Structure 1
C-alpha cells in the first residue's frame, strides 16, 4: 500500500443479506498505532481522512497526527474534513442558493457551462425560519400564519423551487413541515451513511455541516456535525474540504439521574453554564460516563443542540443502545438499525459501559445536583435558579433605575403592599391597557411573550408532555393565562401535534392560548410577530421593562422583540407557568400563580406533573406517528405544489424583486486572484464592546420603517405591513447591507448613550446611520475597519454578518477575540480578522474611533503571524501595534488571497 492510498484498509461487513465495504479503523491501527483511547469524535475524523486519503488534501501524516493526538490531548495539525452531507435552513439557505445561482452566471460569463456548478454532496434545505406569529391564541392561528407566510415569501419560494429543479443533489422540505434540526434528528439523520461507488456499497459515519449553529443537535444521534457559515457550507457542497485544526476534545462526564420535577431543559442550562465558564470555544465536547445509560436520546439532543451556547464546535454523544431505541421509535428501517449497530461495534464507535477515552480536559456533573432553572436576561449561559428568579429580576430593575434600595422593601412593591403583585384581581386595579374588552394594569416585569418554541425543546416529548400535563391541571382548576401574555406553540415537527392530541393535551393548551401557530423557529429566531397594539403602547409610553419566556436557545438583546428588554429561556412547562403568573416579579416557587374557579390560591406545586405522569404520557408517542408524518415530508401543501417555475440552467433575475437579487460578489472576477493591497489610512466605522453577536451585526428580526433598509423598501413600493424580516430578505444584498450593524440594541462606543445602527462620520463629525456613513466613505475611496472587544461574532452562523461587513467597505476587523464561525466567515468574504496583542485593547489604547488606521505587509501575510497596525490618533500621535493575524490555516490563507472562499472554489473548479 502506498502512503497515498488507503485502499488496502477496505474491509467487508455483512449485515443480514447485505454486504457493505468500509475503511477499517482496525486495519489503520496496524500501520498508525493504537487508537483505543481516541475520543469517538476523532475516530470519525480519522475514518474520514482514511476514506479521502489522496496525498494532498488528506495524507498519511494527517492520519498519524490524529493517532498521535492521544499523547498530549491536542495537536497543531490542520486537516481537511469532508462531511457526507449539508443541511440548510431557509434564512441561510436562500442566500446560499443565490450565491450558487450567481456562480452559474459568473461561470457563463467566463465562457464555461453553468451546469458545472452543482452540489457534489447531498443538500437538504428545510424552510423553517419564515413563519411569524402574526396570529395567536385561536384555532385558526396556524392556517392564518401559513397563508401570510406564503404570501410574504412567494418570491423566495419560487426561487427555491427553481433551485430544486436546477441543481442536482438538492432537496427542499416545504414550509409548514418542521424545524430543520428536528427533521434532521427524526428523519434525515442515519448515524451510518452509505454510498455506492464502482458497484460497491460503502458504509461510513453520518457526518454533516449545516448553515445554522444548532446543527449540533444531531450530535445526540451519534452524528458528527456542526454549524458553519453559508459560504463555507457552499464550498463543502461543491467538494471543498472544511479546513480545521485537529481540535482539543473536552470530556464531560455525566453521572447520577435527574431528580423528580427536573427537566432536560434544566440540565442543558446547567451544562451550558458550566462549559461556558470552563471555556470550550473552538473545541469539541464529548459526553461520556455511566449516567448516559439513563439519559434518553431526546435529552441528549437537547444538550447537543445548545453547543453554540456553551461555545463548543459540537457536543457529541456516542452510539449505544439508546441510539437504536430512538431510531426504532422514529421509524428508521430495521436494515438501517442493524447496520448502525454492526458498523459501530466493528469500528470501535460503540459506547461500552465504563469506557473513558483520553481527553484534552475533563469536567463532571452529577445530574442529581441539577435544579429547576431559567437563563437570562440576554445570554443563554447566565443560568438563574428558579427560586432566585424574583430577586434576580428585582435587582435588574434596580440596576436599570439606579435605585440602590432593598428590592424586597423598595420601589417594586405593588400598591397593595404585596411583593407578589398579581395575586387575585389586583392586576385589574389602576388599569392602563384595554384589550379584547378587558381592562388591566401592565406593569414592570410583565411577561408579554410566552412561547413554546425552538427545536431545542420541541424535539423532546418529555418536556412537551410536561407542558401539556401542567396546562391540563391548570385548566381543570379554572385558571387562565394573563390577558397581556402573547402565547404560542410552534413545534419542530408535525409528530408533536399528533402526540399532544392523542394524549389529550392540545385542548387544554389551546384553552390557555397555546394554540398551534406554525411549524418553525418563530419566537426563538425573532419571528415573534407584533405585540397587540395596546400592549406595545403601554410598554413604550411607560418605558416598561417587560419579559419574554421561551423554550428556545437564544435570548440575545433585541432578538425576540424590539420592545422586550429581558428574555428568559425555560422549559416548556415553565413557559406555561409564567403565562399563568404573568410577571417575573413573583417567586414562582412560593407565591401563587393565580386562583382556581373558587378563588383559592393555586401554587406551582399544585399543578406540576410528576415523573410517573410524564413517563406515562410519553408512552403514547408511537412509531406510526413518525412514519405517517415523514412519508410525504418533501411534498408540501397545495399552495407549495402550485408554485410554477421556469426550467433553466441560470436564474432569470428580476430587477423588481425586493427579495432576490444577483449579488455583486463576482462582478469583474478574473480567472486569477488580484494582489492583496495594504490598508492605507482607513477610518473606523464602529467601535464595539464585548460579546457583540451576529444578531447585532446582522439582525434577523423586524425591519424598522425609518432604518436604511426600511427606506429602501418604501422607495421600492413595499408597504410597512409587507416588510417581513431581515432574515426573510437575505436573498437581496441591498436590504442586507443596509441592515448590517442595524440591530436596535447595538451600542457603538463612538456615540454617547445611543443605541442602534448609528456612527459618527469622520472628519465631519456628523451622526448618521452606519450604512449612510459607509456609503460616504466609499464615495471618497476611504477603506474602513471595525474595532471590537472580546467574543466578537458570538451566536448564529450568520454569513450576512460577514457579507454585509464586506459590502460596506470594511477591510479588516480588529478585536480582542472571535467566536469560531464568524471569524471563518470574515475570511470567507475576504475581510481580515486581526486580534489585539496580549494586554492591549481599544480601552488601554484610549481609542475613540476618530483614529486613522493603516495595516501594512498584507502581501506577506502568514497564518497565525503578526501584522503591523499603525494607529494615528486625533492629536497626531502615532502608535504601531503588532496584531495577530487570525487567519489560522493555510487553506484559510488561500481563501483570503483569492478574495473569498467562493472565488477560490470557482477558480479551482474552472482550472480542472
Structure 2
C-alpha cells in the first residue's frame, strides 16, 4: 500500500477561540468532488482523513469514497474510530467485568494492569435495573428505587469501583434517566473538541454504544450505532471499529404531519416502510423539505427505532432545528456557535435544495401518516387504529384458547381474552419527546373532565427518560391528571420496554393462569417481541403515550378506538376524539419546556443520591473477586490466554437446537425474570438465594454462571427438535431425553461433543446483547448455520470465536430436508480460513447417508478474521497490548 497522505489541516475561528480541523473542502482538492456524498459518509470520510497513518487507514480507503459515488455501494473495509463509547448498565456491567478480568490477565503475564484503561471517553448510564414493583401510588418511585438499590448493591458497588479504577470512565448513577435520553439532552456535543499538540481540535461527535438504540442520537446529527459489548470494549481500548463502507438509503420527507397524528405514528410508518425495503447493514439518511417541519424530538424518535427497521443508523443532518434543540437543552452559546460554523465549513449542514447521491431513495409525505399501533409481536407490524380490533381477534383465533372469562378476585370484572393488563408510558423512543408526553397528560386531563377512569385490571406506569420530563409535566399541570388515572412516576429507566414490568397483581395473575388467557399490553416502547414484556402477556402493542392512556381507559384491545366509545362518561358515551388534544393545545404545552429545566437537572449528574454515595468502594487497581457473589464473577474467557488457538475441522457435531425465522437476541440471550425451575433458578437456589431475590437476568449479567444457564431459555422460543414445545428445551440425542438446553449442552461438553445451531432468516435481530454470543460460546457451540444474520449479532459471534455460516441462496433446512438429527461436519475448516470462504457441510443421518451442502463463512472483514484466529476480539486486543 502507498503511504500517500491527503493534507487537510485547516483553522476555524468561533468567538474568541481558534480551532484546528481536518477540512473536507481541502481534501476535495486532492480527492475530487465529494459534495454530493451523503452527509453520513462525509462524517466517515472526515474520520478516515483525521486518522491517516498508512497502517489502519490508507490512501485507498479515502479514494474508495469517490468510487462509492459512482457505484452507490462499496466492498471496501475501513477502520473507523468513534470519538466516544456509551453504555447502559445491563450491557455495561459485563464490559467492565471483562476489563477487570483483562487487568488480571495482564498482571498474570507480568505486565502493568494499568495497560487496561479506556483510551476513548466512556459514559455508562444506569437505567436498565429499575423494575415496576410498585405502581399507581405516590410512594411508587421511592419504593422502586429502594428495591433497585437493594437488589443491585453488588453491581453498583462494582461500577463505583470501576469509576475510580479506570481513567476516561464516567458513571451516571441510577434514578437519573435513560441512557439515550441523557445522551441526547446532555452528553452529546454534535461538534466534539480535543486538546492535542497545543491546539484545540474540532471534529464530528461520533460514538458506538452497547445498546442498539444508541442510534437515537442520530436525530441530533451525531453519527452513532449499537455494537456488542465486546466490540465496545475493543473501541474503548483503542481498537478501530472494522466495517464495510455501507450503502446509504435516502429517505425523503415532504409535507407536514396532520392533525391527530403523532411522532410515534410517524415512526411506526417509517419502520414498516424500511423493513419492507430491506435496509439491514445500511445507513438511512433523512432529507427533504419535510425536515423543516419535523422537531428535533420527532427526529430522535425516528432515529431511535433504527434497530426495528434494521438499519445501522437513521441519520438526520444538522440544521437550524438542531441548533434550536441545543439551545433548549441548555448547551452553551459557544458550543452552539461552534456547531453551526463547523458544520457549514465542512458541508455537513442540511440544504434541502441539494440532494446527495444515495444507493436508493424512499419518499414519505408526512401528511399521509395515520394513528397506529405496532404488534402484537413485532415492531415493524404497523396496524392503523381502526384495524386493531380485527388483528387482535385473529391473533386470539390462532391461539385457540377455550376459556372465555375468569372472575378476578375482589373485582366485579371477569378477565377475558384480549383484555389489557399493562399500560406503560416508558422507553427512550417516546419519553424523549415532549409533544407526545404532553399529549398523554392532556388526554388524561380531558378523560377526567369527562368522568372516565382507567380500568382496575390495568397495571399503569410512567417511567420518563429523564427528570426534565417530570419538570415539564409539573409545569404544565398535567402530573396530577396522569396520577389520578394511576400513571404515577415509577422510576427513571427503561422498565416495561425491556421486560422490567414487574409482577402483575396476584388476582390478575391468578385469573390469567386459571383461564390460560391471552391478555395484552400497550407500551410507548420500541420492542414487543414474544416473552419480552411479561411472561403472562402474549400480545404486546407499541403506541404513542396518549394512546397508551386511551387503551388503559378502554381496558381491552378488542375495541375500534376510531369508532367505538372508549367508555361511559358523566354525560354518556365518550369517544377518543372527545379527549384527544389538538396540535395547538399540544404546542402550547410544549412551549413551557425551557433550558433552565435541563441545566438544573444535569448540573450535578454524576454525583448520585445518598444510596449511591454510601456504596463501599476500594482504591485498588485490580478487582477483588468474591467467590460467593451471585452478581459479579470472574469470567472464564481469559483462562487459556497465551495458549495457541487452532482453527480445526468440526467433526460429527450434534445440533443443540433448530430454530425458524426471526430468532431475536431476546430469544437467545437471558432476559427478563428468572424462573425458579429453570437452570439459572436452580443455580441461584443452590447458592442460597431465595426466589424473591432472584432479580432479573439483566441484573446478573456480570455472572457467567447465571447467564450461560439462561442462554436460549426464553419461555416463547421454539426449538424444532421438539415440535409443539415452547421454552428452552432440546433433545439430547445420545440419550433421547428432553432436557433444558443448558443441561443438554453440559452433557455434550462432558462427552467432548461439538455443537452447532441451525436457524432460518434474520437470526439475532433485536438488541445488541453480547451475552447472546457469549452464552452461545460457553454452551460449546462451534458454529451457527442460518439463512441470514442480523448485523450486530453476527459480529458478536465472530468476536466470541463462534463461526457464523450462511446457507447458499435459496437453500435452508427445509429445502435441504434436514431434520436436525444429523451429525454435522466441516472437513474444510482449517487455519487457512479466508473472509467469505465457501465451505462444505456434511450432514450424516443415523442410517449413515451423507448430505453435502455449501455455506458461506460470514466472517466479513480481514479484521474480523484476525479476531477469530485469536479466539475472540478481546484476546486479540490483549495480545496486541502485551506485544506493544
Given the two structures, how large is their TM-score scaled by the length of structure 2? 0.99
Cα distance between partner residues in 1 of 2:810 and 2:259: 48
Contact 2:670/2:707 (8 A) holds in 1 = no
Aligned position for 1:523: 496
Match of 1:484? 457
What is the aligned partner in structure 2 of residue 718 from structure 1?
689
Matched, 1:695 2:670: no
Question: What SS does the aligned partner of 2:742 have?
Answer: helix
* TM superposition outliers: structure 1 runs of 4+ over 6 Å: none
Distance in 2 (CA, whole Å) between partners of 1:213 and 1:108 is 33
Counterpart of 2:422 in structure 1 is 449
Distance between the aligned counterparts of 2:569 and 2:645, measured in 1?
73
How far is the alpha carbon of 1:837 from its aligned partner? 1.2
**How many pairs does the alignment contain?**
882
CA distance in 1, matches of 2:738, 2:94: 31
Residue 107 of structure 1 corresponds to which residue in structure 2?
Answer: 106
Aligned to 2:766: 795
Query: 5 Å matches for 1:424-435?
Result: 432-435=407-410
RMSD across aligned C-alpha pairs, in angstroms? Answer: 1.1
1:831 equivalent to 2:802? Answer yes
Cα distance per residue 1:349-399 (max 9 Å; x no partner): 001122210000000001111100000011000000001111111111122
Other structure's SS at 1:745 match: coil
Q: Which residue of 2 aligns with 1:158?
A: 157
Residues 121-174 of structure 1 show CA distances to partners (whole Å, capped at 9, x for unaligned) of: 000000000000000000000000000000000000000000000000000000
Partner of 1:191: 190
Match of 1:635 among 607, 613, 623: 607
1:419 maps to none
SS at match of 1:871: strand
In structure 1, distance between residues paired with 2:331 and 2:362: 34
CA distance in 1, matches of 2:602, 2:107: 38
Aligned twin of 2:598: 626
Q: Tell me the distance in 2 between the aligned counterparts of 1:188 and 1:646.
A: 27
* CA distance in 1: counterparts of 2:659 and 2:704, whole angstroms: 24
Question: Which residue is 1:570 aligned to?
Answer: 543
Query: Which residue matches 1:506?
Result: 479
1:250-265 paired onto structure 2 within 5 Å: 250-265=249-264
Structure 2 distance, partners of 1:400, 1:775, is 34
- Which residue of structure 2 aligns with residue 683 of structure 1? 654
CA distance in 1: counterparts of 2:762 and 2:723, whole angstroms: 22
1:555 aligns with 2:554: no
Give, in whole Å, the separation in 2 of the partners of 1:469 and 1:355: 39
Please give the alpha-carbon distance, in whole angstroms, between the structure 2 residues aligned to 1:668 and 1:754. 38
> What is the deviation of 1:874?
2.2
| Separation in structure 2 between the aligned mates of residue 309 and residue 222 of structure 1, nearest angstrom | 20
Q: Is the Cα contact below 8 Å between 1:559 and 1:699 reproduced in 2?
A: no
Alignment of 1:848-859 (within 5 A): 848-858=819-829, 859=831
Residues 281-322 of structure 1: per-residue CA shift (max 9 Å, x gap): 000000000000000000000000000000000000000000
* Cα distance in 2 between the residues matched to 1:154 and 1:231: 24
Per-residue deviation, 1:732: 0.1
The yes-or-no answer on 1:651 pairing with 2:650 is no
- Alignment partners' CA distance in 2, 1:402 and 1:467: 34
Question: Which whole-Å CA distance do the structure 1 matches of 2:810 and 2:342 have between them?
Answer: 50
Q: What is the match of residue 837 of structure 2?
A: 865
- Asked if the contact 1:13–1:21 (Cα under 8 Å) also holds between the matched residues in 2, the reply is yes
Displacement of 1:530 after TM fit? 0.5
How far residue 431 of structure 1 moved from its aligned partner, in angstroms, is: 6.6
Q: Indicate the residue corresponding to 1:24 in structure 2.
A: 23
Offset at residue 479 of structure 1 (A): 1.3
Offset from partner CA, 1:92-138 (integer Å, 9 cap, x none): 00000000000000001111110100000000000000000000000
Report what 1:704 is aligned to: 675
Distance 2:83 2:227 in 1: 14
Report deviation, 1:894: 0.4
Cα distance between partner residues in 1 of 2:618 and 2:23: 46
Contact residue 249 and residue 283 of structure 2 kept, 8 A:
yes
Q: Is the 8 A contact 2:406 2:416 kept in 1?
A: no
**For 1:89-128, what aligned pairs fall within 5 Å after superposition?**
89-128=88-127
Between the aligned partners of 1:140 and 1:87, the Cα distance in structure 2 is: 31
TM alignment of 1:344-383, pairs within 5 A: 344-383=343-382
Match of 2:506 among 510, 522, 533: 533
Q: How big is the shift at 1:699? A: 3.0
Any gaps of 5 or more consecutive residues in structure 1?
404-410, 413-429
d(CA) in 2 for partners of 1:525, 1:215: 15
Q: Which residue of 2 aligns with 1:312?
A: 311
| Cα pair 1:251 1:288 within 8 Å, conserved | yes
Query: Tell me, what secondary structure is at the counterpart of 2:416?
Result: coil
* Residues in 1 aligned to 2:697 and 2:141: alpha-carbon distance in whole angstroms: 22
Match of 2:391 in 1: 392
Helix, strand or coil at the partner of 1:442:
strand
1:815 to 786, 789, 793: 786
Looking at structure 2, the residues matched to 62 and 754 of structure 1 have their Cα atoms a distance apart, in angstroms, of 50
- Alignment match, 2:245: 246
Distance 1:490 1:402 in 2: 33
Work out whether 1:592 is the aligned partner of 2:591. no
Aligned partner of 1:607 in structure 2 is 579
| Residue in 2 that maps onto 1:33 | 32
Contact (CA 8 Å) 1:270, 1:370: kept in 2 or not?
A: yes
Partner of 2:866: 894
Determine the C-alpha separation between the residues in 2 that align with 1:167 and 1:781: 39
* Distance in structure 1 (CA, Å) of the matches to 2:840 and 2:389: 50
2: CA distance between counterparts of 1:139 and 1:439? 26
Secondary structure of the corresponding residue to residue 111 of structure 2: coil
Secondary structure of the structure 2 residue equivalent to 1:389: helix
Asked if the contact 2:406–2:514 (Cα under 8 Å) also holds between the matched residues in 1, the reply is: no
Structure 2 Cα separation of the partners of residues 108 and 353 of structure 1? 56
Q: Deviations over 1:710-759 (max 9, x none)?
A: 00001101111110000000000000000000000000000021100000
Equivalent pair of 1:4/1:54 in contact (CA under 8 Å): no
Equivalent of 1:840 in 796, 801, 811:
811
| Cα distance in 2, alignment partners of residues 760 and 601 from structure 1 | 55
Deviations 1:569-590 (A, max 9, x none): 0000000000000001111111
Aligned equivalents of 1:731, 1:225: Cα separation in 2: 25
Query: What is the DSSP-based 3-state SS (H/G/I as helix, E as strand, rest coil) of the residue aligned with 1:439?
Result: coil
Q: Is the 8 A contact 2:406 2:515 kept in 1?
A: no
Please tell me whether the aligned partners of residues 673 and 897 of structure 1 are also in contact (alpha carbons under 8 angstroms): no
Q: In the TM superposition, what is the alpha-carbon distance from 1:5 to its structure 2 partner? A: 4.0
Answer yes or no: is the 8 Å Cα contact 1:526–1:701 preserved in 2: yes
Q: Please tell me whether the aligned partners of residues 406 and 511 of structure 2 are also in contact (alpha carbons under 8 angstroms).
A: no
CA apart distance, 1:222: 0.2
Deviations for 1:572-621, whole angstroms, at most 9, x for unmatched residues? Answer: 000000000000111111111112235x1111111000000000000010
Q: 2: CA distance between counterparts of 1:324 and 1:673?
A: 53
**Aligned position for 1:333:** 332
Q: How does 1:137-156 map to 2 (within 5 A)?
A: 137-156=136-155
- Write the distance in 1 (CA, Å) between the matches of 2:463 and 2:644: 47
| Partner residue in 2 for 1:764 | 735
Q: Is the 8 A contact 1:221 1:323 kept in 2?
A: yes
Gaps of 5+ in 2: none
User: Counterpart of 1:867 in 2: which secondary structure?
Assistant: strand
Distance 1:163 1:113 in 2: 17
Counterparts of 2:755 and 2:485 in 1: how far apart (Å)?
52
What per-residue deviation string (whole Å, max 9, x for no partner) do you get for residues 485-531 of structure 1? 00000000000000001100000100100000000000000000000
**Cα distance in 2 for residues equivalent to 1:480 and 1:402:** 30
- The alpha-carbon deviation at position 668 of structure 1 amounts to 2.1
Q: CA deviation at 1:439?
A: 2.9
Matched residue SS, 2:415:
coil
Q: How far apart are the structure 2 equivalents of 1:646 and 1:699?
A: 30
In 2: Cα distance, 1:783 partner to 1:211 partner: 30
- Matched position secondary structure for 1:800: helix
Q: In the alignment, is the contact (CA less than 8 A) between 1:124 and 1:172 conserved in 2?
A: yes
Matched residue SS, 2:865: helix
Choose the corresponding residue for 1:750, options 710, 721, 724: 721
Aligned to 1:426: none
